[in-house]
Amino acid sequence: MGRFSAAATLVLAAGLSVPLNAQAVPSLDSIKTEAELTRAITVLDKQLFDAYNTCDLEKFQSFFTEDVEFYHDQGGVTLGSKALTESIKNNICGTTQRVLVAKTLEVHPMKGYGAVEMGTHQFTHPWKQDHGVVGEGKFIHLWQYKDGTWKITRAISYDHHLAK
């Protein structure tokens, strides 16, 4: 049992030493094909919205540059990662879940910068009486690879409507 406890402690300690914003995706320089880039951005999209859906606000904020610009067709402009995270905390946490619509994701390289991601997502309200109501919208994320990390510098969320 002593060996098991020691091994378990090492595994737990190793897991705890992983930085909060650690991303299991390749660097921009190591990506050689559009397929590899699409896989990397797909992983980042999942990580971002897992944090969004679970209200892990610290992790959510780590996906944005401090000076991010977020444009929303119904909510207007939000400037800065702190303001964006605060908006999510006050308006989304515990009420809304985001799901990427299958086969809508597009990823294109931005040479020397990163990638642009586009797609359609749906939003449900699983904890409210209107949980059957599903909203839908389109999005564009501009991902920058800098200092060993992928972050969103600009985001546009638009064409929000009830899903058909």
What pLDDT digit, counting tens, does each position of 117-144 carry? 999 999 987 766 665 668 999 999 999 9
Number of helices and strands in the chain (H, E): 4, 7
Q: Is the pLDDT of residue 8 over 60?
A: no
Q: Is the pLDDT of residue 93 over 50?
A: yes
Q: Is the pLDDT of residue 114 over 60?
A: yes
Residue pair 142/154 in contact (Cβ under 8 Å)? The answer is: yes
Task: Let me know if 71 is exposed, middle or buried by CB neighbors in 10 A (0-12, 13-18, 19+).
Answer: middle
- Residue labelled with tokens 């879940």: 97
- Domain 23-162, what fold? Nuclear Transport Factor 2; Chain: A, (3.10.450)
pLDDT of residue 163: 83
Q: Using 50, 70 and 90 to split pLDDT, how confident is the model at 34?
A: very high
pTM metric for this prediction: 0.83
pLDDT of residue 164: 78
